[in-house]
Structure 1
């Protein structure tokens, strides 16, 4: 259960009205108390989610590390399989599942907890169908890689490994919906434990299958599949057995309003994929520069550092999405607004700290990745751009989380398309190739796209009418099956009353 926002105490000004929403804080003391309450709420949700995402990211890193000890071909093939093919499908599946954050969070806030299970089943149906449409990318990975110019000695084993980890893709159709189901209710400690246990188990299985059973790269693929389905089944069992308020059994209602749900899912997927593909495109473009080896290597090191910060802010993204959707569902516009302000302020402070650390260690942090002096010098030269990127990436995920929590995915998708692909990417190509600024020009142009997107999203946030958002949330809950005229919802086991 959620703790009260703030209780009235002797000698203190009341900050919470009779409706449970914040009153307008007056004075620094009142603002400080709001800041402390919202900070506790944010990190109680975002901390465990960030840990889980970090563990999921580490499963890929561990797999690539084990592949590197098998040989150069295995390393290259597995890197392509996991970092290109799986990253593409992972981002698309995550985006499709993000629609559930909007609906589950708002339904939980509105007290319609029984609908969370229905929405979760609806999302599973859509994601399993999505797996069918994405699976040709896995099945025909070898000819696709050859088509884009990959050498046969890499394309063939990469295609084999990609096909072998197809079961892991299907596990995401359970992992993401159950994850969003639990996040909406702030039941996130289980997710953190599951992620940590999965990572430890994956490390053990990789060692067992490779060095004891002698399965080689096949053992890596089997371990990835087992880890994916182990996580999926653990979360599903927890939902079915220990979440009786939200899970009421299989329901025919999961098939209702599925087209509207699909549209929101596609908007979420497009919004997220436009961001993921934008970052991936700079690496591809850098590979065509004259000094490609040093450029790609130094850029990859910088992107690896940025990825660790991104893992933390994915947790923040999910946390603010839960906070906004919950408060909108409860009809508390000020609480939603203040949670956004507090999260933005803290994220900005973290981003500034990251910039200071990067600039202070610009000649040192690349030692973790390489012993090459020219590569270390190239990384140091790019470090100011890395710092700017990390600063922007501390703000952008917060606003994206607000968009998911409020159901603005379609608007953000259009903004991303305009800022990234109509403005940022062409500018980067012009600076990198026409102005001969190389990787600095490519990255600088793309940073300009991210900066423009951030400014536009901040403007949208500034102009947001939070009372209107509450009204739209209420309408969405009514339209999408929160409760029918008779106050009930139908299940496979017959009709049963709603809450």
Structure 2
């Protein structure tokens, strides 16, 4: 950590003000974040005070520790946002997950309060939103044993019904009976934040909060559905080129795959890894009440990524010569180098979009990226068709379409923030020379993200390099297989993010039993998603390859390998969700070590040994991947099965108590 500046008094006050925010970060990065944010605040006199609007918004926010020394905890204090920017085509080892800042946006606070209100209502601690008719109450009791919260509903006798004197709401003294309040008001009048707060603390302390499979299934579906659409749309930017170019010829299909892989390893994964530091810096700046610093951090990252683009540009310009040495097919290397030189024009736009996504996500504007992709992804597919086939530009049309789309992405994000969002511009600080300063903490915080994303992406992308030694047909087949497996992965991975978010929130609220229920629901959903992918790839193995290429030999090779790829889809889905639950428990390092071990110590030796040593070719390359994914799923599932969930709750309580000091 850097030496404190001369303005020690100012920095001490800043550190004191933001101690709760910093204490919730990972231990290794907390000093870095504190140093960066404290320095920015000390230098920025215009951010010396929080606005009155922010004060009024935050006045109703309940702290994570409502009762120091072991009191109850709220969803509001432990709320984690159900989103994460995609980290590469196959990267599941997210570099870090930080607990969200204490100062939530109005929409996030409303969502967290609704979670508490809904659980209180379903556990019969407050009345329903609308008074129930007598007959509907009786109908509910018929199915109470199957659909209700355990312990929340009980059989009501006729005497109790008569004693209630209200629409099916029983006024019988018991530890689970709600205070009736005014039956004509929603939730019996127990709908204000203070009332919900008091009842939530009492209910959690008494162990009355339970959940059901039905409830958790709805929550997981609500969290994961928009993420799945976003991930599929973002990945379609790559798929569109492969779809379009694949029908030109085998060499072109192999070249676009090799170029995409090279761009991912040497460029896009670096941008994504470096931008992960904004997940911490922007959130912490927003949480400290210094909104303008969110814009400064984003602007600083854009300038930094554009600077990094200079050495990336050199590599991409010289890619043809580099690939000529590595790849045994000169024609493929030449086209791949041409692709990279053209797509380089879109690299600055892609970098700005990666930083811009974190800027809007720090403010809770998760729909911004989705709306932009809903427009840009179909437009990208149209441009590919227009340039490659309509204008007859051939192979070169694909990278031109990608470059245009990459530059449209940040432009679309700007339009959304400027004209479609009421609060997006509140964090913009204007263009400033400070974007060229204080890069050190940002780089330190970003390096682990780059290393982990690069490590996992490289483990999969190296298969494309290896397949090039078996000829252009096998390379083209590998392109199709890699695209298909990455596409199917865009469903279970968002599901794992949703599961991670839900488990983290429940653990933060000290609801260990509810977290276990949510975990079972997530694994069940992952199982069915895996089975769906297995069925899809295995039954359509002779038809799916024809969507990518018209070459009969490539279709034959892909059809032969697809059953193997289909077989590990179940393991892939379960492994992704194991990693999600581990992130929710705050033990993501376990998933990182397990996956990297299985990829490099297990998968790589088996893949190269069977492919080249035993002469299995492409089948051998994918055999190692299948075995590694199976091992990842088994090891991580066993770890989770033996995990002490109460320990995770105690750790969350300890973090919250430290944050409240």
Tell me whether 1:451 sits opposite 2:630 in the alignment: yes
What is the CA-CA distance between 1:396 and the residue it aligns to? 3.0
Q: RCO higher in 1 or 2 (8 Å CA, sep ≥ 6)?
A: 1
Q: Deviations over 1:345-374 (max 9, x none)?
A: 322221123224444455655555567777
Other-structure match for 1:315: 494
| Shift in alpha-carbon separation, 1:245–1:153, aligned structure 2, 3 A | closer
Question: Is the Cα contact below 8 Å between 1:50 and 1:312 reproduced in 2?
Answer: yes
- Supply the distance in 1 between the matched residues of 2:119 and 2:591 (Cα, whole angstroms): 37
CA drift at 1:97: 2.5
Q: Alpha carbons of 1:354 and 1:221: their partners in 2 closer, same or farther (altered >3 Å)? A: closer
Equivalent in the alignment of 1:81: 259
Matched residue, 2:228: 50
Change (3 A) 1:232 1:401: farther
Which protein is bigger by CA-based radius of gyration?
2
Aligned residue for 1:167?
Answer: 345
Q: Give me the whole-angstrom Cα distance separating, in 2, the residues matched to 1:469 and 1:20.
A: 19
Shift of 1:169: 1.7
Match status 1:247 vs 2:427: yes
User: Residue 333 of structure 1 contacts residue 467 of structure 1 at CA under 8 Å; is this kept in 2?
Assistant: no
Query: 1:223 maps to what in 2?
Result: 401
Q: What is the deviation of 1:298?
A: 5.2
Q: Confirm or deny that 1:139 pairs with 2:317.
A: yes
Distance 1:293 1:79, change over 3 A: closer
In structure 2, the residue matched to 1:277 is 458
Counterpart Cα distance in 1 of 2:251 and 2:275: 34
Structural mapping, 1:227-306, within 5 Å: 227-239=405-417, 242=421, 243-244=423-424, 247-250=427-430, 258-288=439-469, 296=475, 299-306=478-485
Partners of 1:392 and 1:450 within 8 A in 2: yes
* Alignment CA distance shift 1:471-1:167 (3 Å): farther
Q: For the residues of structure 2 that align with 1:302 and 1:351, how far apart are their CA atoms? A: 17
- Asked if 1:18 corresponds to 2:200, the answer is yes
**Cα distance in 1, alignment partners of residues 349 and 657 from structure 2:** 33
Aligned to 1:178, the other structure's residue is in SS state helix
Distance change >3 Å, CA 73–CA 318, structure 1 → 2: same
Residue correspondence of structure 1 range 368-407 to structure 2 within 5 A: 368=547, 379=558, 381-401=560-580
State the alpha-carbon separation in 1 of the partners of residues 624 and 320 from structure 2.
33
- 2:367 equivalent among 180, 189, 202: 189
Partner of 1:352: 531
Q: Distance in 1 between matches of 2:269 and 2:475?
A: 22
Q: In the alignment, which of 641, 645, 648 is matched to residue 465 of structure 1?
A: 648
Cα distance change of structure 1 residues 366 and 434 upon mapping to structure 2, 3 Å threshold? same
CA contact (8 A) 1:202 1:227 kept: yes
Partner Cα distance (1:139, 1:232) in 2: 24
Find the counterpart in structure 2 of residue 94 from structure 1. Answer: 272
**TM-score normalised by L of structure 2:** 0.59
Counterparts of 1:424 and 1:455, CA distance in 2: 15
Deviation for aligned residue 1:89: 2.2
Q: Deviations over 1:225-263 (max 9, x none)?
A: 221111112213434562348615258997898544434
Spell out the pairing of 1:26-37 with structure 2 (5 A cutoff): 30-37=211-218
- Counterpart-to-counterpart distance in 2, 1:341 and 1:253: 48
Answer yes or no: is the 8 Å Cα contact 1:355–1:390 preserved in 2: yes
Q: Aligned partners of 2:388, 2:617: CA distance in 1, in Å?
A: 41
Relative to its length, the structure with more helix (as a share) is 1
Greater displacement, 359-368 / 162-171: 359-368
Whole-angstrom CA distance in 1 between matches of 2:240 and 2:376? 12
* Contact 1:210–1:216 (CA under 8 A) maintained in structure 2: yes
Change in Cα spacing, 1:382 to 1:212, as seen in structure 2 (3 Å) is closer
Equivalenced residues, count: 470
